[in-house]
Amino acid sequence: MDQFQGDLEKITGEGTLKRGEPMSRHTTFQIGGPAEFYLDVNTPAVLKKVLDIASRYRVPLFVFGGGSNILVGDQGIKGLTVRFHSEEFVLKGKTLRVAAGMGLAKIAMEMINRGLSTGLENLATVPGTVGGAIYNNSHWQDKLLGDFLLKAEIYTPRQEVKEVPADYFRFAYDYSILRDSGDIVLTALFPVGKGVKEEMLKAVIANNQTRSLSQPLDTKCAGCTFRNPSKEQPAGKLIEQCGLKGKIIGGAKVSQKHANFIINNGNASAFDVLKLIELCRREVRQKFGLDLKEEIFLVGEFAHD
Ligand SMILES: Cc1cc2nc3c(=O)[nH]c(=O)nc-3n(C[C@H](O)[C@H](O)[C@H](O)COP(=O)(O)OP(=O)(O)OC[C@H]3O[C@@H](n4cnc5c(N)ncnc54)[C@H](O)[C@@H]3O)c2cc1C
């Protein structure tokens, strides 16, 4: 492993590879055990080289962005965990290319300030990065990431870098092909049109207000826990009708404000959250005969009873 560390640090700098880094420092849940090896990466070019090395050494790999849609197990993550956060941003003619590690809010504000629109201003209040948003086709109200993407540059499990059109991702509700393919997104390309700065800003502020009225934004959480079985049957309403609003297991709690949010109410373990997830699922199945599916992603190793 010393050779692995040496090769990585030739690219990222001496002392940059951490061992046993607590993932609770890097997730919005503030939950998660240690990453065996942990690296911060800030550009697509460096990310590509790091991925080459991980595959050369056959080290298991996990790449993430904002950490706003994951629950990391208390036993942590084996292999190399890479956090991709980047502000690489190239506006050229009628297109915008951004690093997949760039935050949605940051992109939206950069464009709004220039009086330009990519559509991402509709998703400005979704926490996290473009890469994370492509992975799950993140959405706000009826606008989905996949509505706006033109192309993306991906790194495939066969170590090829490819530019692929948006339809490669087979976007659907809470789905993109990345969930099955194992590709990593390096950069993303969006068409750019003119926008009216004041109107776009007004819409972002209104979205923020709507969100803060209905969601527990000041808590440690990872957004909605479950996918909505249908528009008519949102998961939060089903959980609420099971009388589970405010339910606590260990340090985890079903939010009083929005029952589809499980929050870290103090020192929750991933296992506490998992038990609460199971309880919600069981009660909803018993009462409504519906199987709730998680919208958050479980990553790494979880303890068992
Ligand atoms: C308060 C709050 C509100 C939220 N509201 C919404 C909402 O309205 N709508 C919504 O859809 N979501 C919402 N979320 C969930 C989350 O913010 C989004 O899903 C977001 O797009 C995730 O991005 P991320 O960078 O944080 O992803 P991460 O949590 O870092 O990663 C999520 C998944 O994406 C993968 N991934 C990340 N980057 C890449 C990459 N470059 N290439 C390949 N795979 C990658 C990871 O491996 C992981 O499997 C909310 C979360 C919070 C905390």
Question: Cβ neighbours of residue 7 under 8 Å, at least 6 residues apart?
Answer: 53, 56, 57
Cα(216) to centroid(ligand 1), Å? 17
Ligand 1 pocket residue status of 146, Cβ below 6 Å: no
- Domain 89-200 maps to which CATH number in 3.30.465.10, 1.10.357.10, 1.20.1300.10, 3.90.180.10? 3.30.465.10
Q: How far is the CA of 27 from the centre of ligand 1 (A)?
A: 10
Q: Give 3 Cα–ligand 1 centroid separation in angstroms.
A: 33
d(CA 2, ligand 1 centre) in Å: 32
Report the nearest-CA residue for atom 2 of ligand 1: 223
* Beta carbon of 44 within 6 Å of any ligand 1 atom: no
Report residue 305's pLDDT band, with 50, 70 and 90 as the boundaries.
Answer: low
pLDDT tens digits for 139-191? 999 999 999 999 999 999 999 999 999 999 999 999 999 999 999 999 999 99
Q: How far, CA to CA in Å, does 163 sit from each of 151, 167, 291?
A: 7, 12, 37
Q: Is 133 in the pocket of ligand 1 (CB under 6 A)?
A: yes
CATH number for region 2-84: 3.30.43.10
User: 218-299 — its CATH code?
Assistant: 3.90.78.10
Q: What is the percent of the chain where pLDDT is above 70?
A: 99
Domain boundaries defined on the chain: 2-84, 89-200, 218-299
